[in-house]
Structure 1
Amino acid sequence: MSEPRIRVSGEVNDALAAGRPVVALESTIISHGLPQPDNLRVAREIEQVVRAHGAVPATVGMVAGEILVGLDDDALTRLATGDEVAKLSVRDVPIAAARGADGATTVASTSAIAASVGIEVFATGGLGGVHRQAGETFDESADLVTLARIPIVVVCAGVKSILDVGATLERLETLGVGVVGYRTARFPGFFVTDSGFDLDWRLDSAEEVAAAWRAHRAFGVSPGALVVANPLPEDQQLDRELHDRVLAEGLAIVERDAVTGKEVTPVLLAHFHSATGGASLATNIRIILANAALAAQIAASGAAPATAAPESL
């Protein structure tokens, strides 16, 4: 068996070598976050948005045990339509590689892989975070501790309101992960523009974000990420009254059925999808497209200095 490896596409490798802007994209949204056939269409659209705003897209995933940075259309299709695509956080990647599996990378694993090959800007939908009742379950996403040690700019729409938003922000502070609001001083709640929590820092342009990241890298006082919280405009968010009602219903279902641990989030998200008649799905798509556009603008504004690229395989 050949040694597991990371294979960088020729286009991404050339862009990194030339110091051109590159944006990493996760693949979990393709295989686990969106239903078929919307997932493949949206995956292609996300990449098109990155290109339209001046950067090269680098979707990360695993095919037959090989980590790919810059999926071609065949690989995108395989992860979008496959029946046995594993969800890969950081700890899962080496095991899946050894098994020769197909896998979709999460925020945590995408960040780690992207940074390892020199990509410094990453667009996703929302971060994982601290779960409700984490004081009893210790349920916290690996995204948080991974971002504490991985140097990358992460553009997101905050965290889903099904999580404990306040505790998530406290953990990010404790872990030394910088968080800024993009044209806002309030932390977004994914489906909704405002989660109800203040932010200490607001930046109003892609150039300001890029400058903050260059300073972060130059000072070297923190090894981790910079989270850029990019809310949807209020007229594009999920209807607030509908959101609050569906969330309360979902939490009641979780309590009634004694759902715990990693099963809580899928149950709540499935309820959102069914109870909103697909409106939450449409909002999800608007979020990732908006974040992809902003990430490309940040990368094109000089967030990442030119660095030597890895060898293209």
Structure 2
Amino acid sequence: MNISKYLDVSEEVSLAINENRPVVALESTIISHGMPYPQNVETALNTEQIIRKNGAVPATIAIIGGKLKAGLSHDEIEYLGKKGLEVTKASRRDLPFLLANGEDGATTVATTMIIAALAGIQVFCTGGIGGVHRGAEITMDISADLEELSMTPVMVVCAGAKSILDLGLTLEYLETKGVPVIGYQTEELPAFYTRKSGFKVDYRIDTPEMLAKVFHAKTETGLQGGMLVTNPIPEKFAMDYDVINNAIDAAIKEAAQHGVHGKDTTPFLLAKIKELTGGDSLVSNIQLVYNNARLASNIAIELSKLK
């Protein structure tokens, strides 16, 4: 396997990995597809700064010019932010084509996990994972994020599965694939914009130290796949459960009317929900990412002590 031909790890990230210092991976779809410019760039840079303040090294991940990049420069983040929806939203199936053609791609949870693992990064912070979409029994619309979690040894820190999904079926899928779902200081699965969903996680863990120990035990024993840590959005930024679910139902109905499907579904729904909530959902989205960055940094620090 000649991965060095395609993988480009920044000097800062490479040095941190070699010195066993804590590193936290970040996705880039949130930059290109998650929110408008310039808020996307501001959020990405702020998230990196939060990780640094908490004692870890940030590694924003993307595909640029046919290279798998782990650790973007400010200019590269700005480039993705301005290019926005023109950048390919890249999942596992897209990687060979982007690499062969020297193209750009913004990484989803799945592709961020792949590149993080190739670079030697074990902790990844994101907003929310993809999952089983509502109506998947007809459409078979299931995010590649779930399959990647079953295969790739990366701990994913998120605010739960996006509440636009069928959360019950998402949990069932993860159970079938042997992926543990952990609630950080909670027994209930958070649902992205809200702290409650009505569904229970597999395990509750209350400290970053114990989260690191559990993941370390998993990797030391050679068990395949990753681990999902769900971290509830801070109470002050959480949205009202009924308000957000009414907005989601309306957005899903409109998506069906317009024939939106596949990887266009999530960006369409998030944009529509932002419109229906008067922008409140975007504020919540940004704050939950910052909250996850703090926790991921603390886990990465504890994990580095165990190596």
- Scaled by the length of structure 2, what TM-score is found? 0.94
Task: Report what 1:8 is aligned to.
Answer: 9
Please give the secondary structure, in 2, of the residue aligned with 1:61.
strand
Q: CA offset at residue 218 of structure 1?
A: 2.0
Please give the secondary structure, in 2, of the residue aligned with 1:54.
coil
Task: Report what 1:311 is aligned to.
Answer: none
Q: Distance in 1 between matches of 2:95 and 2:255?
A: 30
Among candidates 185, 194, 197, match of residue 196 of structure 2: 194
Q: CA offset at residue 262 of structure 1?
A: 3.9
Q: CA offset at residue 95 of structure 1?
A: 0.6
The C-alpha deviation readout for 1:184-222, integer Å capped at 9, x for no partner, is 0000100111111011310001011011111111222x3
Please give the secondary structure, in 1, of the residue aligned with 2:169.
helix
Q: CA offset at residue 259 of structure 1?
A: 4.2
Task: Report what 1:28 is aligned to.
Answer: 29
Higher RCO (C-alpha 8 Å, min separation 6)? 1
Please give the secondary structure, in 2, of the residue aligned with 1:62.
strand
Q: Distance in 1 between matches of 2:98 and 2:76?
A: 16
The C-alpha deviation readout for 1:86-134, integer Å capped at 9, x for no partner, is 1111111121111111211110000011011210000000000001111
The aligned length equals: 303
Q: Distance in 1 between matches of 2:6 and 2:160?
A: 32
Task: Report what 1:231 is aligned to.
Answer: 232
Q: CA offset at residue 22 of structure 1?
A: 0.5
Task: Report what 1:170 is aligned to.
Answer: 172
Task: Report what 1:62 is aligned to.
Answer: 63
- Scaled by the length of structure 1, what TM-score is found? 0.93
Q: Which runs of 5+ in 2 are unaligned?
A: none
Q: CA offset at residue 246 of structure 1?
A: 1.1
Do the aligned partners of 1:96 and 1:103 also contact (CA within 8 Å) in 2?
yes
Do the aligned partners of 1:15 and 1:22 also contact (CA within 8 Å) in 2?
yes
Do the aligned partners of 1:121 and 1:303 also contact (CA within 8 Å) in 2?
no
Task: Report what 1:127 is aligned to.
Answer: 129
Q: Distance in 2 between matches of 1:197 and 1:127?
A: 16
The C-alpha deviation readout for 1:20-56, integer Å capped at 9, x for no partner, is 0000111110111011110111110010011111100
- Pick closer, same or farther for the CA change 1:305–1:118 going to 2, 3 Å: farther
Task: Report what 2:154 is aligned to.
Answer: 152
**What aligned pairs does 1:253-268 form with structure 2 within 5 A after superposition?**
253-268=254-269
Q: CA offset at residue 264 of structure 1?
A: 3.4
The C-alpha deviation readout for 1:259-283, integer Å capped at 9, x for no partner, is 4444433332222010111100000
Do the aligned partners of 1:211 and 1:303 also contact (CA within 8 Å) in 2?
no
**What aligned pairs does 1:62-101 form with structure 2 within 5 A after superposition?**
62-82=63-83, 84-101=86-103
Task: Report what 2:143 is aligned to.
Answer: 141
**What aligned pairs does 1:203-214 form with structure 2 within 5 A after superposition?**
203-214=205-216
Do the aligned partners of 1:137 and 1:261 also contact (CA within 8 Å) in 2?
no
Do the aligned partners of 2:33 and 2:267 also contact (CA within 8 Å) in 1?
no
Q: Distance in 1 between matches of 2:5 and 2:214?
A: 35
- Pick closer, same or farther for the CA change 1:53–1:204 going to 2, 3 Å: same
Do the aligned partners of 2:34 and 2:267 also contact (CA within 8 Å) in 1?
no
Q: Distance in 2 between matches of 1:4 and 1:163?
A: 37
Task: Report what 1:52 is aligned to.
Answer: 53
Q: Distance in 2 between matches of 1:143 and 1:304?
A: 28
- RMSD of Structure 2 on Structure 1 (CA): 1.6
- Pick closer, same or farther for the CA change 1:185–1:66 going to 2, 3 Å: same
Amino-acid identity (%)? 47
Q: Distance in 1 between matches of 2:7 and 2:172?
A: 34
Q: Distance in 1 between matches of 2:285 and 2:278?
A: 13
- Pick closer, same or farther for the CA change 1:196–1:303 going to 2, 3 Å: farther
Do the aligned partners of 1:154 and 1:227 also contact (CA within 8 Å) in 2?
yes
Q: Distance in 2 between matches of 1:18 and 1:259?
A: 46
The C-alpha deviation readout for 1:238-262, integer Å capped at 9, x for no partner, is 1223212212322332444454444
Please give the secondary structure, in 1, of the residue aligned with 2:195.
strand
Please give the secondary structure, in 1, of the residue aligned with 2:182.
strand
**What aligned pairs does 1:243-282 form with structure 2 within 5 A after superposition?**
243-282=244-283
Q: Distance in 2 between matches of 1:55 and 1:175?
A: 30
Q: Distance in 2 between matches of 1:303 and 1:143?
A: 25
Give structure 1 regions of 4+ aligned residues with deviation exceeding 6 angstroms.
none
Q: Distance in 2 between matches of 1:127 and 1:156?
A: 7
Q: Distance in 1 between matches of 2:263 and 2:14?
A: 36
